[in-house]
Structure 1
Amino acid sequence: MSDYVLAAEDITPGQHWTGSLFGLTVNLDTIIATLIASVIVCGFGIYMARRATKGKPSGLQVAFEALTGWVQGQVREGMGFRTPRGVVGLCVTLFAFILICNWLAALPSEHWIPPPTADVNLVYPMALLVIVWVNVAGIRKNGAKRYFSHFTKPYAFLAPIEFITQYFSRPLSLALRLFGNIFAGGIMVSVIALMPAYILWAPNAAWKLFDMFIGAIQALIFTLLTLIYFSEAVGSENEAH
């Protein structure tokens, strides 16, 4: 029993190995994991651009085309054919990047390089990027006066609530939903590690597979919510049909 308590005290999810950069303390494991995921996504994009073919596509090309087609369909349905420049590329990149970040949890190096999406220092800037881009696209499409007038609809006294929802609730929920699920996965790995070594492999392998499934779902949800926010900001029923 004492060994179990001692092992439990060693569980420290959420801690990072840090360093100093320009006088600031940074989470080095998050930075390294983010760079690894970025290199994988960029490498995959370059590979697909050079190897794409109209003949007999590879499995990777089929998966990439399916993802791109799904995003394009959602964009067309919500925003019509006059979509803001870069929305499709942004959403495809977000999905691929978040998916790779989440799937880093399946590697044996998780204790040294955890998935960066389990760190709020990454998910908050991602959510902020989406919200800022959504508002810029909405202003460019409708003009500042017309765009911000939607805060007063259907009643002007609801404007503060709409403002809080748009600029505080949405980015927080977008970021914390992703962070919470991936962070919880790290806690489960630590808890499973308390099991005896001779049975550890079975629950660990099962959880890794489940964790990868959750990682894919979270990447999909983040992307889908981003598309919904863009649709609300720039969508037009006349153009969508």
Structure 2
Amino acid sequence: MADMKRKDYEAALEPLQRELIDAQRWIMEQRRRLVIVFEGRDAAGKGGAIKAITQMLNTRGYRIVALSKPNEHEASQWYFQRYASHLPGGGEIVLFDRSWYNRAGVEKVMGFCSDAEYRDFLAQCPVFERLLTDAGTLLVKYWLTVDQAQQEERFAERASDPFKRWKISPIDIAAREKYADYGKARDAMIAATHAENAPWFLVDFNDQRRGRLNLIRHLLDWLPDRKVPEKPLKLPKLKSKPAKEKIADAARWIETKW
């Protein structure tokens, strides 16, 4: 199947983004808490999916969490502690661009954790997530799938593009030879942590545009009924003529080039 054309993608995305605005208004007015976890192979398209979801949202109502390697202090904490500090408050959406599942993925495959730490994670994770959902947090988890040939094409594109080269880390390069190992780790992770209260859903991201549309459509359908009447907005007329900007003498204009 040929990749989806941009114009078709943008035409399909616009009504979904309008629905996302409605969903966010429901979350904010009802003071609900929503966590969306994005996991998947390197170069699958997690960042692009998150951008498509948040592009038109109220910036006060969501946060994107993409944590780097833990520092020495964080590494000494209870494993879930640094993630728990980023969970949403009432009326907020938090999107995790990778999450606590690092332990079941890259840490397991690349040997960054012990077997005991890995087994403890698989046992404790469902308990941690049950605590979240029992307290009223909505939690949904997406794994973005991509075939290795497609993944290699994206790596090559990133390597040749100075605007995308930063996306490739030494770990990404080392992990290229462990495609099958990551698949086994994913399957074990999902088997241990998929639950009705905290479900996993797989999304085909070999075509990233189709993947984004399918993910957003699923997310909107997965959320509870979120009908909130939209209040009409009518701007009153100004009481005086529109004014021009008046800048204090201490301020300086940048040079106009366009």
Bin of the TM-score, shorter chain as denominator length: under 0.3
Higher normalized helix content (fraction of residues): 1
User: Quick check: which one's strand share is greater?
Assistant: 2
TM-score (norm 1): 0.28
- Which structure has the higher relative contact order (CA within 8 Å, separation 6+)? 1
Q: TM-score, normalised by structure 2?
A: 0.26
